[in-house]
Amino acid sequence: MFILEFVVYDLLGEASLLVGLMALIGLLIQKKSAAQVISGTIKTIVGFLIFGIGSSAAQGALNGFQSLFASGFGLEGVTPISEAITAQAQTLFPMVIALIMVLGFVCNLIIARFTRFKYIFLTGGHSLFLAALLAILLKALGLSDVMAIGIGAIILGLASCIYPAIAQKYMNKVTGSEDIAIGHYCSIAYALSGWIGGKVGNPKKSTESIELPGWLSIFKDYIVSVSLSVGIFYYVAAIAAGQGAVEVLSGSQHWLIYPLMQTLTFTGGLYVIITGVRLFLGEIVPAFVGVSEKFIPGAKPALDCPVVFPYAPTATVMGFISAYIAGLLCMLIMIAMGTTVIIPVAIPYFFIGATAGVFGNATGGWKGCIIGAFIAGVLIAVGPAIIYPIMKSVGLSGSSFPETDFNLIGIIFNFIGKLIGAW
């Protein structure tokens, strides 16, 4: 009984140790050397712990912004950043998230092995984010940990295979081959952008014939783009709230310095989160990918969205600008309507909008790029607002998921929850 309790509550209850254990098993199956097994296992655990440290810093800064925004405008401002909301969820459901992620990857391999959807989803960060979303949704429905893990793993496995297939037709047009798939859970937005591009434009009139000022490339830097975008909104919220409200939060710190330091703390927290995620995923993903290569011949790797940027560099910038304008317009509409306000943070809008722009450009040139990315920007503004009440139902606030594929799953669960009276 003592051993059982130790395994269930102490070992499995520590998400970092659980993920490390999974990495250990994968490395042993591949018959790696003792040094590789030890190194991979330790890096996985440490990476997961770093992720948790970053989450604490980002969440603290996010809470400050939330207070100022609500005080200044009488509205609820939500930043759609997957890293931030995942970090919050990880503090509530660490074991559930870890097991959904690991078992979901196993389901991905099984589905790819026995169905025509032969995609191996290799963007581990997005698998982690979807695991977090599924944990939130399933726990909000009142399911037990065991049920949440089982159902969540199956859904994650299905999503890993089906979503890349949705955008594959247009991915082939982007790359000019059928060798790789898009492994970024905005496949609906990308496929829609590609479809719209074919309706409104001409692929021969590509964005790559247009020259843009070089200074726009600054938004490709994660630290700079997040700091500038979040900083602007932080200062707007601080000025709107007034010196007195800021000083309540800042303590001895000058009320004009407080927004700056909180912005940089938030950016630093997100950077630490990403560093931790990359560290532990860099170990655990290869541990399982090596196994898949032996048993699933012919499978396509589903890779992160930056893989498409070299095919249309100008479209990446134009797509970002178009999507961000859409996000700002949606924010103004939400403010006017008095609903939950989604703050268009630059980094998700860059990656999602840029990728949508590349897809739209592949089928409809510059017109497809602009219009397709704009529609994507609307989707990643409206979607997080729709599922945000579910986030709040489990005690999460201030952030939501911008990914369109996530939001579709969330909308379905929202309907189910209302149907059964869960919220």
Long-range contacts of 172-177 (CB under 8 A, 24+ apart): 173/203, 173/362, 173/363, 174/308, 174/311, 174/312, 174/358, 174/359, 174/362, 175/308, 175/311
> What is the token pair recorded at 33?
């050397």
Helix (H, G, I), strand (E, B) or coil at 397: coil
Looking at the DSSP bridge assignments, the partners of residue 78 are: 342
| Model pLDDT, residue 180 | 87
**Any idea of the CA torsion for 219, 222, 225, 227, to the nearest 10 degrees?**
-160
Spatial contact of 89 and 391, defined as CB atoms under 8 Å apart: no
**Whole-angstrom distance, CA of residue 329 vs CA of residue 331:** 5
In this predicted structure, the answer to whether residue 133 has a pLDDT above a threshold of 90 is: yes
Q: Among 128, 70, 118, which Cα is nearest to 97's?
A: 128
In this predicted structure, the answer to whether residue 10 has a pLDDT above a threshold of 70 is: no
Q: φ and ψ at 343, to 5 degrees?
A: -85, 120
Pick from 108-122, 141-155, 295-309, 320-334: least confident? 295-309
> What is the token pair recorded at 36?
């590789």
Q: Among 42, 184, 160, 163, which Cα is nearest to 101's?
A: 160
**Residue 295 banded pLDDT, cuts 50, 70, 90:** confident
Spatial contact of 333 and 75, defined as CB atoms under 8 Å apart: no
Q: For 128, which DSSP code?
A: H
Cα end-to-end distance, the chain, whole Å: 38
| Model pLDDT, residue 34 | 93
Quickly count: other Cβ atoms within 10 Å of residue 264's Cβ. Answer: 17
Angle (CA) 303 307 319, round 5°: 120
Residues 6+ apart with CB under 8 A from 327: 342, 344, 349, 377, 378, 380, 381
Q: Is 26 exposed, middle or buried (0-12, 13-18, 19+ CB in 10 A)?
A: buried
Can you say whether the dihedral through the CA atoms of 343, 344, 346, 350 is positive or negative?
positive
CB-based burial, 121-138: b 16+ in 10 Å, e otherwise: bbbbbbbbbbbbbbbbbb
Spatial contact of 392 and 137, defined as CB atoms under 8 Å apart: no
| Model pLDDT, residue 58 | 76
In this predicted structure, the answer to whether residue 281 has a pLDDT above a threshold of 60 is: yes
Mean pLDDT of 348-354: 88
Pick from 135-139, 239-243, 313-317: least confident? 313-317
Across 8-22, 68-82, 331-345, the highest mean pLDDT is recorded for 331-345
Residue with the bigger pLDDT between 21 and 190: it is: 190
**Whole-angstrom distance, CA of residue 77 vs CA of residue 416:** 26
Whole-model pTM: value is 0.75
Pick from 123-137, 271-285, 376-390: least confident? 271-285
DSSP track, 72-116: HHSS-EEB--HHHHHHHHHHH-HHHHHHHHHHHHHHHHHHHHHSS
| Model pLDDT, residue 338 | 83
Spatial contact of 361 and 368, defined as CB atoms under 8 Å apart: yes
